[in-house]
């Protein structure tokens, strides 16, 4: 039997373990954790990996010679006369067994394998592009929810102030220091704020649903602190060279390589593959056995209209893939330059609001309050000053949200190394 103090220790240990587990389960979700969960949660990434594995297996098979063909039969069997259907009675009747082999050229087999290797590379590049998109979209969902929650907190503060303003307006009206119009304005302002809070709450729920869709985490999981969105490791002067490795550009690069491999295979197919065959014929008793051998060669009698046209089509497809790749690169360069300018402008606006606009709004509130206490300003002017300051705070939060979204689009052009297998 265990002594009572041992039972107490076991109970205490279980309670501590349970508390630690609950604390771990309730730990705030950081942005990197959300992205890691989203990558692990995606079945599309696994599908791209399987596609790449399948293409590599096909590449190994395509590099081999075709299987030999075993042939067996009976030649020159009589079907009439006294010896009909007798295998050993006629000198021309032979049992035959042989083997045939198609001799596919090593160049053609090499191009077939290269085609599948290029297909595997394209699937792998598509997986990298998908991983980058998952990380980017997860970051946008995480940042959206984070900033919308902060905007909701600011709106809640404004609603509390609006209710205080209504109470002050009612007191002023009862004391003869205000009018009914001011009281009605305060109530209308509260209704507008509550309506705005309802709309913002729906946006916040949508952002939570989107984040849960990516990560598989509960919708009400707490979020940790915002990451540093004030820096981006992109050099505008070297942008084109950087975007050469953009995942979507890499997909089209692999597509161009695949088209080149198909063109190489079409070029190699202009030379026909030979087939060789050898067989042994066994005749009846008293007749010598025989051996036959031969070679088969396809007659490419209309190469200009068949093989040459197929080669021209493959070369045109390769040129098309390269042109599409170059066009996509130019498109991404222009897009990233625009996003960089947008992100920089957002940084400047945030600095202006934090250093100039909001301090000026606070100074105006203090000035109007001082005038109100001295009887030189009305309650409506105080309310208007507070509303202007609150609106500017919300505007700053919206700028921060928009800038964070732009930062995420720039930061996660490439997938984070180590997350995507």
* Mean pLDDT score, 341-350: 95
**Whole-angstrom distance, CA of residue 233 vs CA of residue 395:** 27
Residue (of 312, 259, 264, 270) closest to 111 by Cα position: 264
* Cβ neighbours, 10 Å, residue 101: 15
Instruction: Determine the average pLDDT of the residues in 363-390.
Output: 85
Instruction: Give the pLDDT score at 418.
Output: 59
What pLDDT score was predicted for residue 346?
95
Among 117, 111, 131, 127, smallest CA distance to 54 is for: 117
pLDDT attached to residue 165: 79
Rounded distance between C-alpha atoms, residue 135 and residue 128, angstroms:
11
Q: What is the pTM of this model?
A: 0.79
Residue 41's pLDDT band (boundaries 50, 70, 90)? confident
Q: Which two tokens stand for residue 307?
A: 């093989």
Tens-place pLDDT, residues 204-254: 999 999 999 999 889 889 998 888 888 888 888 888 888 888 899 999 999
335: which 2 tokens? Answer: 């897009």
Give bridge partners of residue 291 from the DSSP assignment.
280
Q: What is the pLDDT of residue 16?
A: 38
What are the structural domains, with CATH classification, of the chain? 28-411 (1.20.1600.10)
Confidence tier at 5 by pLDDT (50, 70, 90): very low
User: Quick check: 20 pLDDT over 80?
Assistant: no
For residue range 118-156, list pLDDT tens digits in order: 999 999 999 999 999 999 999 999 999 999 999 999 999
Q: How does pLDDT run across 73-105, given as a tens digit for each residue?
A: 988 888 887 777 777 677 788 889 999 999 999
Give the burial class of 298: count Cβ atoms within 10 A of its Cβ; 0-12 exposed, 13-18 middle, 19 or more buried: exposed
| Residue whose C-alpha is closest to residue 108's, from 62, 54, 67 | 62
């Amino acid at each position: 039997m265990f002594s009572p103090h041992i039972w107490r220790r076991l109970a205490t240990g279980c309670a501590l373990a349970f508390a630690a587990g609950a604390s771990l389960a309730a730990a705030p979700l950081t942005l990197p954790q959300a992205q890691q969960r989203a990558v692990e949660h995606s079945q599309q990434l696994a599908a791209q990996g399987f596609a790449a594995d399948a293409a590599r297996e096909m590449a190994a098979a395509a590099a081999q010679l075709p299987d030999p063909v075993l042939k067996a039969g009976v030649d020159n069997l009589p079907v009439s006369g006294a010896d009909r259907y007798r295998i050993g009675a006629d000198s021309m009747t032979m049992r035959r067994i042989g083997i045939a082999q198609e001799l596919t050229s090593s160049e053609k087999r090499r191009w077939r394998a290269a085609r599948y290797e290029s297909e595997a590379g394209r699937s792998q590049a598509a997986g990298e592009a998908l991983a980058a998109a998952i990380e980017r979209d997860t970051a946008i969902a995480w940042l959206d929810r984070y900033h919308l929650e902060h905007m909701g907190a600011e709106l809640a503060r404004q609603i509390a102030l609006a209710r205080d303003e209504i109470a002050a307006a009612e007191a002023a009206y009862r004391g003869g220091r205000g009018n009914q119009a001011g009281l009605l304005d305060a109530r209308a302002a509260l209704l507008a704020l509550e309506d705005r809070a309802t709309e913002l709450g729906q946006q916040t729920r949508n952002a939570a649903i989107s984040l849960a869709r990516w990560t598989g985490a509960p919708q009400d999981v707490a979020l940790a602190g915002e990451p540093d969105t004030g820096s981006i490791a992109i050099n505008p002067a070297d942008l084109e060279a950087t975007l050469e490795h953009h995942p979507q550009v890499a997909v089209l690069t692999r597509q161009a390589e695949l088209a080149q491999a198909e063109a190489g295979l079409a070029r190699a197919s202009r030379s026909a593959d030979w087939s060789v065959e050898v067989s042994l014929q066994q005749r009846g008793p008293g007749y010598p056995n025989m051996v036959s051998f031969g070679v088969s060669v396809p007659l490419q009698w209309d190469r200009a209209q068949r093989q040459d046209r197929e080669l021209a089509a493959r070369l045109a497809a390769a040129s098309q893939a390269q042109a599409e790749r170059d066009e996509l690169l130019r498109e991404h360069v222009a897009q990233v330059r625009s996003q960089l300018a947008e992100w920089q402008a957002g940084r400047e606006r945030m600095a202006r609001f934090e250093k100039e606009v909001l301090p000026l709004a606070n100074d105006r509130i203090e000035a109007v309050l001082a005038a109100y206490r001295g009887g030189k300003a009305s309650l409506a002017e105080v309310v208007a000053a507070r509303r202007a300051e609150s609106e500017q705070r919300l505007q700053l939060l919206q700028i921060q949200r928009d800038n964070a979204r732009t930062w995420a689009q720039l930061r996660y052009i490439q997938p984070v190394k180590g997350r995507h297998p």
